[in-house]
Amino acid sequence: MSQYANPDVLVSTDWLAANLNNPGQRIVEISVDPKLYEAGHIPGAVNLNWNTELQDQLRRDIASKETIEHLLSDRGVKSTDTIILYGDHSNWFAAYAFWLLKVYGHQNIKILNGGRAKWLAEESRPLVTDKPAVTTSTYKVSGVDESLRAKLPEVLAAVHGRSANLVDVRSPDEFSGKIIAPPGMNETAQRAGHIPGAKSVPWSTAVKENGEFKSPDELREIYFSRAGVVETKPTIAYCRIGERSSHTWFVLKYLLGLKDVRNYDGSWTEYGNLIGAPIER
């Protein structure tokens, strides 16, 4: 992992197994299926529900500053703590939480490389069902970094001016317009297709079968050589609701070191419903 642009944002399962009880550290699970935590989780881990806690329940928006302060205080997280995130699906929502917490200014965050699957399948690490004892804290957000988030006007500017790389991380069938949403998921848009000029790089191409991230050389080949992402241009990643694209955002910004990468969390749910928006298939 030392060859990544920012190797300090990852920890291995070996390292975590030997450092479960480090002071000033909080392990947090965020899985696509929140019930997995109740069935068994890494010792000492607390849980966050991506759907009910990390998204505004009235507006379609990320959780507010006040909500984040409440959630982290309730989980006993301090602003100086190192947060170690993990989850299922090769860390989909661990990456989403990483992005969200960076928007709200938390400094020390890491992702468990390989996530829940590698902790279990390859090494048979223990899971527990008891919830850890937590002393609540008084967490305060230090600031909001809007530069990590793409809004619709920036996306439209990139479409018309070709001023930024647009990276569509959905499946090839979603990109081509054959389907609107992945199988088994609600169709949240009226139209199928992709944003004009976007490059199709499914999020899963960045990880190995065991859920770990591929090597820097492999990632550079995927994004720069094959897909044609221009390293010197700003980059906007998108998917359907912003979780898969946060995974790619993490890869491009932290593992490959691109300076200006934004996650368009409005993604296809917003863009595919716009009247008059240009769409390609």
Domains of the chain with CATH codes: 7-145 (3.40.250.10), 149-271 (3.40.250.10)
Half-sphere CA count of 122, side-chain side, radius 13 A: 15
Q: Can you give the pLDDT at residue 126?
A: 85
> Which residues are CB-neighbours of 256 under 8 A, at least 6 positions away?
4, 5, 216, 219, 220, 223
pLDDT of residue 125: 84
Phi, psi (5° rounding) for residue 194? Answer: -145, 165
- The reported pLDDT for the residue numbered 2 is 85
Beta partners for residue 28, in sequence order: 46, 85
CA-to-CA distance for 220 and 254, rounded, in angstroms? 13
CA-to-CA dists, residue 244 to 91, 107, 116, 221, 228, angstroms? 9, 22, 17, 20, 20
Show the low-confidence residues of the chain (pLDDT under 50): none
Between CA 267 and CA 237 the distance in angstroms is: 8
Query: For position 190, what pLDDT does the model report?
Result: 95
Nearest to 264 by CA among 166, 143, 145: 166
173 bridge partner residues: none
pLDDT computed for residue 57 by the predictor: 87
DSSP 100: H
Please give the pLDDT value at position 161. Answer: 92
pLDDT for residue 121: 82
Residues 6+ apart with CB under 8 A from 68: 100, 101, 104, 139, 141
Q: Give the burial class of 70: count Cβ atoms within 10 A of its Cβ; 0-12 exposed, 13-18 middle, 19 or more buried.
A: middle
Q: Sign of dihedral through CA atoms 63, 165, 111, 5?
A: negative
Q: Is 191 a catalytic residue?
A: no
What is the C-alpha separation between 207 and 93, in angstroms, rounded?
15
Minimal CA–CA distance to 222: which of 258, 266, 252? Answer: 252
Catalytic position from the list 72, 166, 236, 239: 239
